[in-house]
Amino acid sequence: MKDDAYSLNRFITDLRHTACEGRDEHWVIATMRPLVQRFALSCSWLEPRHYQADSAQGFGVHVLHEEPDHTLAVFAVSWLPGRGIPPHDHGTWAIVGGVDGPEKNVFWERTDDRTRPGYAELRQSGERVFRPGDVLAMPSGTIHSVCNESDHVTLSLHVYGKHVNFTDRSQFDPDRRRETPFILKLA
């Protein structure tokens, strides 16, 4: 069911209230999860530009909200058909809500001892295709990759404890066993 009355301003107010409770991230994620689902399914915030994606990057990142200190960032992310993003972490907790179309998430575990800079060993630990209304809650340290296996642009809503370009996040190449810093190109 679409909820046209749940505006971006109300959503941000609800997220701020939850974030200010000062509890641990698992409580914050659990409490925000239904808010993200409700807002992802509402149509009050969607604009045609949210479906635009950078062809070189394979996806588009549209900032809907960011606190002045970079905490509590909200993005609309569009994924081009057949494209995605390699394994990465966020440097913070993340909650992703499906808006339009299926997106495949593959989850990874780090198996090395993290003592060698730029080196990382990963193994796949699971996968899940999520659709509109589905919500993925990822605590800090979660590593996943995303792929749009459909023939049209898909869209998801992303809420982060901190804007990911202001965290020490990494992108991984499991075949080459590499870890590199990861900064998003924003639309």
Distance CA 158, CA 94 (A): 7
pLDDT at 187 over 80: no
**What's the rounded mean pLDDT across residues 37-45?**
92
pLDDT reported for residue 44: 85
> Confidence class of residue 3 from pLDDT cuts 50, 70 and 90?
low
Q: Domains in the chain, please, with CATH?
A: 8-181 (2.60.120.10)
Q: Output DSSP code: residue 46.
A: -
Residue 34 has pLDDT above 90, yes or no: yes
pTM for the whole thing? 0.94
- Assign 108 a pLDDT band (cuts: 50, 70, 90): very high
3-state secondary structure of 64: strand
Task: Confirm if 28 and 53 have CB atoms less than 8 A apart.
Answer: no
Helices and strands counted in the chain (H then E): 2, 11
Residue 20 has pLDDT above 90, yes or no: no
User: Tens digits of per-residue pLDDT, 109-168?
Assistant: 999 999 999 999 999 999 999 999 999 999 999 999 999 999 999 999 999 999 999 999
Token couple for 59:
């996806």
pLDDT at 62: 97
